[in-house]
Structure 1
Amino acid sequence: MGLFILISGVQLCHAQTTTSTYTKAEQDIFDLSKKKWDWMAVKNIDSLGVLFDDKSVFVHMGGSWGKAQELNVIKSGNIWYKKTSVYSVSVNFFANTAILLNDIDLVAVVGGNEVVNPFMVTEVYVKENDRWKMGSLTFSKLLRPVRTTDQIPQQK
């Protein structure tokens, strides 16, 4: 009986978070993040170059670097952010800073090999002159299994 109540409570909490309405500021950041994933998938360097602040930092499993190297990595195809499945998103605001968390599965091509990884991605945006700029993008690998089963590369 106790387990049933616990599961029901978890389901209710999930339902409440997925049906809530967002403020305009929250929706703007969510929309900007979605555009960013789309631009990364199609290697839209021009739009990403405007979004990424000149002092921005990018943290990956294999290292960290700045704006110029991230744009070069995307342009060259060394990392192709092929498909992002976003399962949850949240944002917290601190003055002119927004910190967004995405629970995702990322299908990427890295060094010519397609891989799928579950990540919690932290995006930091700073609002200057009425425009949001990305200051940081950090990928933290999750221990949960991948959920994007239709895009998992076949094991040989």
Structure 2
Amino acid sequence: MKKLVFLLSILLISISSSFAQTAAEKELIQLSMDKWQWMSDKDVDKLDKLFDAKAKFVHMSGTWKKDEELDIIKTGRIWYKKATVKDTAMEIVGNTAIVWNRITLDAIVREQVAVTEFTVTEVYQKQGNDWKMLALTFSSVRDTHQIKH
């Protein structure tokens, strides 16, 4: 009887942690999708809350910090018109999450239309009840590139 109770306890713990991770994964994927919309809408207030104060952003033309990224979005120097997400993968390790999105980005960069295939790596950290973005890196890829799950 004690063995049965012990086994059921272990099973319950495993199931509940599995559901918790699934909930966290769903939350992060939705947050990532929301981020693309906020970037398209130039909603720097929501992005300001999402981006950690020490966040770094790596683009094809440079690397910068939070304040410059927000200014670039606000002024339209890069307008992330539409990110079509083709595939998403993620890993959660402790309070850190990495989200990979395979996207086609329609943007206006320096007044030029740009349509580019990227794998975007997003790093998040759980801070209190919120996820904060620590890093966003765009890697240019061929349109046949696939994220390995």
Question: Shorter-normalised TM-score: what interval?
Answer: 0.7 to 0.9
Q: How big is the alpha-carbon RMSD for the aligned residues of Structure 1 and Structure 2?
A: 1.6
Task: State how far apart, in whole Å, the 2-side matches of 1:114 and 1:40 are.
Answer: 16
User: Which residue pairs with 1:138 in the alignment?
Assistant: 137
Q: Secondary structure at the match of 2:84?
A: strand
Q: Secondary structure at the match of 2:36?
A: helix
TM-score calculated relative to the size of structure 2 = 0.82
Aligned positions of 1:74-89 closer than 5 A: 74-89=73-88
Q: Is residue 31 of structure 2 the alignment partner of residue 32 of structure 1?
A: yes
Structure 1, unmatched stretches of 5+, are: 1-21, 146-156
Q: Which runs of 4+ in 1 moved over 2 A?
A: none
Q: Is residue 112 of structure 2 the alignment partner of residue 110 of structure 1?
A: no
Aligned positions of 1:91-102 closer than 5 A: 91-102=90-101
User: Which residue pairs with 1:16 in the alignment?
Assistant: none
User: Which residue pairs with 1:14 in the alignment?
Assistant: none
Give the number of the structure whose alpha-carbon radius of gyration is greater. Answer: 2
Question: How much does 1:94 deviate?
Answer: 1.0
Aligned positions of 1:115-134 closer than 5 A: 115-134=114-133
User: Which residue pairs with 2:66 in the alignment?
Assistant: 67
1:57-110 alpha-carbon deviations (Å, 9 max, x no partner):
000000000000000000010000000100000110111000000000000000
Task: State how far apart, in whole Å, the 2-side matches of 1:143 and 1:87 are.
Answer: 13
Task: State how far apart, in whole Å, the 2-side matches of 1:85 and 1:128 are.
Answer: 28
Task: State how far apart, in whole Å, the 2-side matches of 1:129 and 1:93 are.
Answer: 16
1:20-54 alpha-carbon deviations (Å, 9 max, x no partner):
xx811110000000000000000000000000000
1:129-155 alpha-carbon deviations (Å, 9 max, x no partner):
12100000000000226xxxxxxxxxx
User: Which residue pairs with 2:10 in the alignment?
Assistant: none
Structure 2, unmatched stretches of 5+, are: 1-20, 145-149
Q: Aligned residue pairs: how many?
A: 126
Task: State how far apart, in whole Å, the 2-side matches of 1:51 and 1:62 are.
Answer: 23
Q: Secondary structure at the match of 1:139?
A: strand
Q: Is residue 35 of structure 2 the alignment partner of residue 46 of structure 1?
A: no
TM-score calculated relative to the size of structure 1 = 0.78
